[in-house]
Amino acid sequence: MKMKWGIIGTGYIAAAFAEAMKVVEEGELAAVASRSLEKANEFKEKYQVNKAFGSYQELMEDDSIDAVYIAIPHSEHAKYAEIAMRHKKHVLCEKPMTINEEETSRLLAVAKEEQVFLMEAMWTKFLPVTKKIRDWIEAGRIGDINFIDARFGFVAEMDPGSRLYNPNLGGGALLDVGIYPIMYALYLVKEQLEGISSFVKKAETGVDELNMVQLIFKNGAIASLASSICSEIGTDAIIMGTKGKLVIPDFYKAETALLYDLNGNLMDQIEEPFEGNGYEYEIREAISCIRENRMESKLHPLESTRELMGMLDAIREQWGLTYPGGR
């Protein structure tokens, strides 16, 4: 029997999830909820969803829904993820799971109390290319990692009311896209972190629109990580090792990776086209965990999410950036 999913939200992330579900045979998109019934119905028709609701609460109360994908602004994740779990729904929550570590810890406690599955939708970790890159690194193909350069940036219109620039919605580059290169470095280096330094350019609304984060690991490796919503700084990653380097174009949605020796000769490459749009892999992971009665993913455990949120808190503290309500 297919697992029945509900989506909270109708934006582009929700649309990406709906598109991916088309190639996930184990799942079925059974319901969508928006604060506007009109928008929910439009989404329902476009993606052939069974039910549409004009409030999030109505979807939560539908006993036929097994799991919920939270696809609304960051600032609302904690609230509705908890409501979903209180209604015994398994939850896949778009990244970042919450605004800060305190809220994340709260959700982890609720998941344990309610005995439901919870996972942050960090889709990059589940991509076939990402898995093969990690295998290569663990096999010593590039030797010991000593430097990572990863960035994620684009130009967004300066709109104080948009989710990217509005502090009330948890706006800024760090939480929206900066989380990707930081996660990537932590996932691949797998060493104890010794230090964090950072630099920021703030927008008129007070959120970060351009930043640089440097991580120093116990083994001496350094990661230089940047994110932006005001500049095209690219989306590539380079991982330098003592024996060679890996180049990953569009690392956050990678379908290819290139392995070079220290002289710049191409030694190997990975080509792994998506079956759908790439979101299908995290959906399958969630379904697999739920069916096996596992409350979290081994590949992206809840503690990894909590630790990463703690790091983002520390970085924002360096900048003096807090969101309304002291978040």
Amino acid at 63: D
- Catalytic residue list contains 95: yes
In terms of Cβ atoms closer than 10 Å to its own Cβ (0-12, 13-18, 19+), residue 4 is middle
The DSSP annotation for 274-319 comes to: -SSSSTHHHHHHHHHHHHTT-SS-SSS-HHHHHHHHHHHHHHHHHH
Amino acid at 178: G
Exactly one of 51, 89, 95, 125 is catalytic; name it: 95
Helix/strand/coil for 222: strand
CB atoms within 10 A of CB 51: 18
C-alpha pair distances (Å), 163 with each of 33, 155, 169, 175, 322: 19, 14, 5, 11, 16
Buried b (16+ CB within 10 A) or exposed e, 131-160: eebeebbeeebbeebbebbbbbbbebeeee
288 vs 27: CA distance, rounded Å:
10
Residues with catalytic function = 95
